[in-house]
Chain A
Amino acid sequence: MKPLTITICTGTTCYVMGSGYLLSLQEQIESACSRPVEIVGSSCLGLCKDGQYGRAPFVQIGSTVIAEATAEKIIETLKQQTARKPMEQI
């Protein structure tokens, strides 16, 4: 199965708000969702500049933006996506 890309912002604001911790969660997420994921870092995603997207830290999975991201929220989002679509399309 192709790993699903999880983009974690490592820009200044997100890092201050704890995104560094999220970078190390690959195994935890994989075992919770029982599918391979690939965590990639990104410089400022531009989501922190105004309030529109909520608050840092930001994580992006496909077109979904997770604000104030935590391990639980990431796992939650992945599970919802998996439930909505057949695996192959994700």
Chain B
Amino acid sequence: MNNRFFIEVDCARQNKHGQGAPGDVFLSQRDPDEGRIVCVLADGLGSGIKANVLATLTATMALKYVRSDMDICKAAGVIMSTLPVCSERKIGYSTFTIADIHPDGRIRMMEYDNPPAVLLEGPTVLPLEKKPMEIETAHLGRRPLFYSAFQARREMRLVLFSDGLSQAGMGRPRTPLGWTAEKAVLFLREQIRRLPNISARQLCRAAVTEALRQDQFQAQDDISCAVIYFRRPRKLLVVTGPPIDRKKDAQLAARVAEFDGRKVICGGTTANLIARELGRTVRVDLSFLDPEIPPVSTLEGVDLVTEGTLTMSRTAQLLEQNQEPDTSRPNAAVRLMNILLESDQIEFVVGTKINEAHQDPNLPVELDIRRNLIRRIVSLLNEKYMKQASIEFI
């Protein structure tokens, strides 16, 4: 685990107005052992399903080649010579930016025809030395690419975006040339100046929303923005289930009280036992009611208290479907998802006590469900959202 910084990666996207399939594709993967991250932003020619196929192919190939340690320049060449050809325009084409990020912050990047990637330290833009290269393509002859290698430090951000963002609003009287990359970068700097710790997740969403506004809320093209933020890790502790041994209750409560980061408790019984140990009170908060997900509770010193199984299984579902949390329906599952995604290092502490004196044959099953649910959430967080999540059973 790298303690100097955590690399938070997120991407926000908006499809072109009226298109069901995104023509921009962003893929990223963290190698669970090495901690190395490979990210690709590809923008397929045109929009809709054809563009989506091109961009998906490009991004998938890039991810695979670079991860298998093919040289990043060679990988770019292979991709460009293998893309399928569009039947109308007779070219097979997708722009791309590939960033290969070492856990110590060393980055190698290859850019082909996307707006230039930007490296920021706080709100300051750092110059990147980009070496021009040429690569033979199947249908377009020799094309220029840019290669760069640099070292990121804590509080730096690497921002990638598609031309749908920089050209948003193009043709409108006030912005005949669109928003432009320069103004987009100014916007990013302004956001960081105002909120120095703004997360990758918030920053990329802010940029896409602003681009969409430039387009008067009807995207003229696919808009994407990815942010890779080298940040101080945000820690989260999630406690669920009473410990197997009652003597450990006090320890668990102390751990919650002393944890340096945000804290969540999932499960009413667990919340009650921690409250009891700490001499505090749990109160069910009825200010927002949802027909399917039980309401949250409040407990002094804890950021979120939810019911257990129903809430966590809905959260797992939301994480699986990669759904943007519905802010108009801030139920416990949505709030749990938000707090998970706004954290980097997440410790799940899972109590394995079955149940008091009751000999209910269903309860071991319930415990199994809980354990599997948490395993599912943890693997989603690690694999899909590139968090550092771990489980401990007590």
Complex interface: chain A residues within 8 A of B291 (CB): 20-21
Q: Which one, A11-19, A27-35, A63-71, A77-85, is touching chain B?
A: A11-19
**Interface 9-residue window, one of B75-83, B245-253, B292-300:** B292-300
Contact B309 A20 (CB under 8 A): no
For A12, give the chain B residue with the smallest CB separation: B309
Question: Which residues of A sit under 8 angstroms from B282, Cβ to Cβ?
Answer: 43
Asked whether A50 is an interface residue with its Cβ less than 8 Å from the other chain, the reply is: yes
- Chain A residues contacting B286 (CB-CB under 8 Å) are 23, 39-41
Tell yes or no: B358 within 8 A of A by CB.
Answer: yes
| Interfacial chain B residues near A40, Cβ < 8 Å | 284, 286
- Which chain B positions have C-beta within 8 A of A12? 268, 294, 307-310
B258 close to chain A: CB less than 8 A: no
A44 close to chain B: CB less than 8 A: yes
Q: Quick check: B360 and A49 within 8 Å, CB to CB?
A: yes
Q: In this assembly, does A5 line the interface, its C-beta being within 8 Å of a C-beta of chain B?
A: no
Residues of chain B contacted by A24 (CB below 8 angstroms): 289
Cα A16 to Cα B290 with chains together (Å): 12
A43 touches B295 (CB 8 A): no
- A44: which of B269, B290, B295, B360 is its contact (CB, 8 Å)? B269
Neighbouring A residues of B360 by C-beta, 8 Å: 49-50
A52 to B294, CA, bound (A): 24
The size of the chain A interface, using a CB distance under 8 A, is 17
Once the chains are docked, how many angstroms separate the CA of A11 from the CA of B311? Answer: 11
Question: Do A50 and B268 contact each other (CB < 8 Å), given the known contacts A11-B294, A41-B286?
Answer: no
CB–CB A20/B294 < 8 A: yes
Chain B minimum-CB-distance residue to A15: B294
Q: Say if the beta carbon of B355 comes within 8 Å of chain A.
A: yes
- Quick one: closest A residue to B308, CB to CB? A12
B289 in complex: contacting residue of A11, A16, A20, A50, CB < 8 Å: A20
User: How many A-B residue pairs lie within 8 Å, measured between CB atoms?
Assistant: 54
Cα A32 to Cα B161 in complex, Å, equals 60
Which interface class (under 10, 10 to 19, 20 to 34, 35 or more) fits B? 20 to 34
- Does B218 touch A at the CB level, under 8 Å? no
Docked pose: A40 CA to B290 CA in angstroms: 15
In whole angstroms, how far apart are the Cα atoms of A75 and B369 in the complex?
37
| Known contacts A12-B307, A49-B360: A43-B271 contact under CB 8 Å | yes
Interface centre among B268, B297, B308, B310 (most CB of A within 10 A): B268
B272: CB under 8 A from chain A? yes
Which residue on chain B has the smallest CB distance to residue A26?
B286
- Pairwise interchain contact B355-A10, C-beta atoms closer than 8 A: no
Question: Chain B contacts of A43 at CB under 8 A?
Answer: 268-269, 271-272, 282, 284, 297, 307
Report yes or no: B310 in contact with A10, Cβ–Cβ below 8 A. no
A41 CB contacts on chain B under 8 angstroms: 284-286, 295, 297
Chain B residues 265-295 with CB under 8 Å of chain A are 268-269, 271-272, 282, 284-286, 289-295
Q: Which residues of B contact A10 (CB under 8 A)?
A: 268, 284, 294-295, 307
B358 CB contact (under 8 Å) in A20, A39, A50: A50
Interface string of A37-64 (1 = CB under 8 A from B): 0011111100001100000000000000
Contacts of B307 in A (CB 8 A): 10-12, 15, 43
Q: Which residue of A lies closest to B359 (CB)?
A: A50
Given contacts A10-B284, A23-B295, A40-B284, contact A15 B272 (CB under 8 A): no
Measured CB to CB, the closest approach of chain A to B267, in angstroms, equals: 8
For residue A44, which residues in chain B have a CB less than 8 angstroms away from its CB? 268-269
Task: Choose one: B271, B285, B294, B358; the contact of A49 (CB below 8 Å).
Answer: B358
A70 to chain B, nearest CB (A): 16
Residues of A within 8 A of B290 (CB): 20
Contacts of B297 in A (CB 8 A): 41, 43
Chain B residue with the shortest CB-CB distance to A43: B268
**Closest CB of chain B to A74's CB: distance in Å?**
16
A-B contact pairs, 21 of them (CB 8 A): A10-B294, A10-B307, A11-B268, A11-B307, A12-B308, A15-B293, A15-B294, A15-B310, A20-B290, A20-B292, A24-B289, A41-B295, A41-B297, A43-B268, A43-B269, A43-B284, A49-B355, A49-B356, A49-B360, A50-B358, A50-B360
Instruction: Name 9 extra pairs, CB < 8 A, besides A16-B310, A43-B284, A44-B268.
Output: A10-B295, A10-B307, A12-B310, A15-B307, A20-B290, A40-B286, A41-B297, A43-B272, A44-B269
Give A residues with C-beta under 8 Å from B.
Answer: 10-12, 15-16, 20-21, 23-24, 39-44, 49-50
